[in-house]
Structure formats: C-alpha cells, structure tokens
Amino acid sequence: MKRTDLLPTLLAAVLAAPACKKDGAASTTPPAEEGQDAAATSADDEPEDPPQDPDPAELTAAFETYLRGDPQAVVASLEPAIAGWTGDGKIRARAMGQALLALARAEDVVEQAQSHAEAAVAEAGRLHDPQVTALARAAAGVYALGVEDFDTAVTELSAAAEAQAPAATRALVSILLGQALIGRAYGPGGGSKLQNPEDLDRAKDAYAAALEAAAGSPQAALLEGRAHEGLAAVAKYQGDHDALCEHARAAGERLAAGDATDRLAEGPRLLAEAGRCTDG
C-alpha cells in the first residue's frame, strides 16, 4: 500500500512577513532596505541550536555494522542505547540513531521502520546540521522505498544526497538513491517491464557518485562494494554483460575487504551467476 502522506517533511525557516500598509500610503523606506531589514530580523529571531554532546561511540559502531550487512546487530545495540540519550544535548545522537534504526529495520520488516524514520525527521528539524538532515531524509526515503512509493523515495534521497554531509554519509545516501531509482524504473510490483528507463541511467550516476564520495573514507571498502553491486545490477538490466561482470567482481572483492557479512556478499555472487561471469 502506498503511503505518500505518512512521513513528515523538514520545515525550512520562515522569513518574517512584511507589515501591511494602508491603502494609498507611500513607503518611506526603499524596497531594497525593506528586504534587508526583514532578512536581518529573521536571522536575529531564529533560535540557535542547543549545544550538542560528542557523538556516542555506539553511533559509529552501528553505522559500520549496518554497512557490513548486519541490521539485526544495529537494532540490538541502538535501541537500548537511544533510551538513555535524553536531554537537548543528545538531539543529534537521537536523530542519527533513529535514522540508522530505520535503515536497519527496513532491511527486514519495512513497516517497523516508519516510527524510527518519523522520529529521526522530527529530531533533525530541531537542528541545523547537514549530516543529521541527510540521514533523517535518507531514513524517510528508505521507508518510502520499502512501501514502493518510489517518487517520494527519490525526492527524499535526492535531497539527502545534496546535503553538505561527510563523505561516507553522502556515499551511503547515493547508494540508497540508486536503489530507489531502479525501483522507480520498473515501478510498483517489481515487474519485468521497464516503465522509466531513464531512471536506470540516473541510478548509474548515483552509484558513480557514491564511488567518488567513498574514496578515502574509513568505510571505503564497504561503500565501494555496495556501489559496485548497484552498478552491476544496472548493467544487468541494461544488457551490458561486460560491465555486469566487471562490477560484480569488484563488488565481491571490496565487500570481502570490508569484512561484509555473507548476507551482503551474496548479492554480487548472484549477479555474477546470473551473468555467467565465471564461464569460459
């Protein structure tokens, strides 16, 4: 079932509305100065973010565990940890923790990801933190992807990919965007008939962007492995046998280098088998 209205959207700051003028009254202030005064007032009135505590070690560990392909371990570690992250100093930690829980939950039972995605977006709306915003919108996008609301998924993940977030976050979001674009290319139900073939090219671009962003990051092997797997999938759908085998092989090598789980490593193996990449 499509649920296009379940996930909240992040709200931008609203500029102060200009005061109403009486009919016929001439303005004594030039228009440019009016605009400058309104912008200054808006900036002065906007509340500052509350100071945030350093990120708990559990967040970094959960991010790497998710990338390795062990969503159950992410849930087991983060759910009890988040319960103790109270107060305004832990808004960032709660937002990112809820986002990671949404990504992990969506791997198995997508409906269980909804509440975490909504909590991540709500917490992220209290800060002006690009990394938090990117992860929260990624969580919303992954939930939408799971319920096959592909337009919403692409919108949320595209916005997340454009955020000024750390390289590893941008790489992961671009990988998720590639998945959403492949989903939209075929449409709900996962049929075999292409409905939006141009989205396969866009997915290829998203995975290429992920490779570029991942280079040099601490999680490069896992991120690059996931991106190569996506490129192999696109090559399969576009009938490019050489690219399919090249990227499936690279995906397997990089995921092995990152100590990925068998569950995650199975994807490139299946793609290589489908392409008969080991023949001859």
Domains of the chain: 57-218 (1.25.40)
pLDDT of the residue at 25: 36
Note the pLDDT of residue 232.
Answer: 98
> What one-character DSSP code corresponds to residue 51?
P
Task: Please list the pLDDT of the chain residue by residue as tens digits (280 residues).
Answer: 333 333 333 222 222 223 333 333 333 333 444 444 444 444 456 679 999 999 999 999 999 999 999 999 999 999 999 999 999 999 999 999 999 999 999 999 999 999 999 999 999 999 999 999 999 999 999 999 999 999 999 999 999 999 999 999 999 999 999 999 999 999 988 777 899 999 999 999 999 999 999 999 999 999 999 999 999 999 999 999 999 999 999 999 999 999 999 999 999 999 999 999 975 4
Backbone dihedral angles phi then psi of residue 44, each to the nearest 5 degrees: -70, -35
State how far the Cα of 30 lies from the Cα of 45, in Å rounded to an integer: 23
Predicted model pTM: 0.82
* pLDDT of the residue at 45: 60
Q: Are 172 and 223 in contact (CB under 8 A)?
A: yes
> Of 199, 277, 279, nearest to 237 (Cα)?
199
Gap between the Cα atoms of 47 and 230, Å rounded? 41
Q: Which amino acid is at 67?
A: L
